[in-house]
Amino acid sequence: MRGFTVAAALAALANGATAHRAHRHAHDLFEKRGFNDTGVCMNECKTYYTTIYGEPTLVPEKPAPASSTAVTPVAVPATTSAPVVPPKTTGPPNVPTPIQELCPTPGTYTFPAKTLTLTETTTVCGAQVTKVPSGTHTMGGVTTVVTTATTVVCPVATAEPLPNGDVTSIIKMTTYVCPTAGTYTIGPHTTTVTKEKEILVPTVTVYPPGTYTAPQVVTTVTETSVVVVCPFTSPAPAPPAAPTTAAAPAPPAPTQEAPKPAETPKQQQPEQSKPQPSTPATSPNPPKLGGGNQWAMTYTPYGPGGFCKDAAAVDADIKQIKDGGFNSIRVYSTDCDTLPNVGAACKKYGVKMIIGVFVGAPGCDNGNPHVADQIATIEKWGMWDLVEMAVVGNEALFNGFCTPDQLVTLITKVKTMLRSHGCNAPVTTTDTVSGWQAPGVAEKVCGAIDVVGANIHAYFNGNVQPLDAGAFVKSQMQIVESLCGGKAGYIMESGWPSAGKCIQNSCPGKDAQATAIKSIQGAVGGQTVFFSFTDDDWKAPGECNCERSWGCGSLFV
């Protein structure tokens, strides 16, 4: 990523991370879509480049629409190395939003660790960075479906100029009038850029009570006016007096993903003094996983435009997956009625489920309401006979959303809940190979998981041909298995795009995809979750221009 050096990404190793960096399959959009300040509901579908939390609230009357506000794009240059100079910072925050540090000239910068304690749930205006190509882009907003003329009131994150020329982000409650039944995009804004650049978009963010720490970061830059973002980690358990609040369910609709952050080594956060909970023993006699040459398929219940599919549409999809020869499906989160709708269809057609707890931002523990809501939803759902595996986090280490200790604590929380209900399914996490190879990861995480999970995509290596995809994926999985002392390993995502740009010598295409999928089937199909069931037109195309084109379900018909 040029210019914006996100400190959360410093956990990634240089080896093998570059090729994977561009590919995140829009997992950031396993979070609720956001709001931005525009006055009129627009009866059309949009592609979004940012997400935030929050749901619209329906009210009985129709006030006039609010006026439109544009968000100012912020361009930031690339970072590399140079001599030491003192940085200019934005000053200590009173909420744990990522700290933006300005490096005005080339040099080496050290940003000290910072700690902040919240005693109550706080809603603030944060910022989401996203890279966009040249052209005009519609970003942000929330899409809702109304069955009659309706007025919608929702919180809006918007940017406003200050007298000194700076731009600040604030939250406003804004009213929108949807005049007739239909699908409306509320509050998007449009910006035009003349060349590829990274821009900041204000977002609404909810922080639960707890103590937040931004670890020390050391980085170097070789250009002027480089902004470094230092995010806070998730909170420790909230202070006793702090109130607890629930938040809207987090993750779903894998919509557009921000590009993988730059792979700068991440300074390890100091160990917390609080004791770690004991980890439940490895699943005794876990159900047999995999088998044959096509074990499972990833599935998200989103239709065109990223809207939630109804139960009938989900039923038809699961039937097609079963008819294609799959015995299991992997879901990432609990939103969009994933568990009840997908669960009912899986029970009907005899398909097992790999369920997930999604971590899409720093906040890697049960104190994060978005994480807590998913765990509570799984526990309430309770169809334990369908659960073949539980996956806690998806590339959460690579993205810097979890430290190894935090991830172990969260895995333990989920495993303890499952075991308390008699669910004996293996519990794991999944990450990139470089995420697993990062210092301290295997030593801490391997003991908490029952089997090893990794996301492996040969296309992003750049030197793998479709015919050799299976052999490449198998060799990478063996590396991860060896890191965990030979524990059984499973590929939780693998595929090949049918369209997009070549990455060095690895090129997408329909024929290439068919060849690669057949190669993966032959080498490791029995331990692979194929990515993904259908193309996803609502995702951003990404740097590879390929993110919408991974659908491979038709190859198994």
User: And the tokens for 129?
Assistant: 């960075």
Distance CA 128, CA 54 (A): 15
Q: What is the DSSP letter of 276?
A: P
Distance CA 549, CA 532 (A): 9
Which among 314, 306, 373 is positioned nearest to 342, based on CA atoms?
A: 314
Which among 270, 266, 220, 242 is positioned nearest to 108, based on CA atoms?
A: 220
Distance CA 88, CA 286 (A): 54
Which residue among 257, 493, 543, 547 is the active-site one?
493
- Please indicate whether residue 395 is annotated as part of the active site: yes
Q: What is the DSSP letter of 303?
A: -
Dmax over CA atoms of the chain, in Å, equals 66
Alpha carbon dihedral 463, 469, 471, 476, in 10-degree steps, equals 70
* Amino acid in the structure at residue 417: M
One DSSP character per residue, 479-547 reads HHHHHTTT--EEEEEE---SSS--BTTB---HHHHHHHHHHHHHHHGGGEEES-SS--TTS--TTTT-T
Q: Under a CB-based contact definition with an 8 Å cutoff, are residues 470 and 517 in contact?
A: no
Distance CA 221, CA 107 (A): 5
The β-bridge relationship of strands 167-178 and 197-207 is: unpaired
- Please report how the helices 469-483 and 510-524 are oriented relative to each other, as an axis angle in degrees rounded to 10: 50
Q: Under a CB-based contact definition with an 8 Å cutoff, are residues 422 and 383 in contact?
A: no
Distance CA 495, CA 535 (A): 12
| Residue 482, CA distances (Å) to 211, 273, 436, 479, 510 in order | 36, 30, 11, 5, 34
Which residue among 101, 263, 395, 543 is the active-site one?
395
One DSSP character per residue, 12-76 reads S-STTHHHHHT--TTGGGSS-------SS-BSS----S-------EEESS-PPPPPP-PPPP---
Distance CA 28, CA 512 (A): 27
Distance CA 421, CA 182 (A): 42
* Amino acid in the structure at residue 329: I
One DSSP character per residue, 102-152 reads EE-SSEEEEE--EEEEESS-EEEEEEEEEEE-SEEEEE--EEEEESSSEEE
Catalytic site residues? Answer: 395, 493
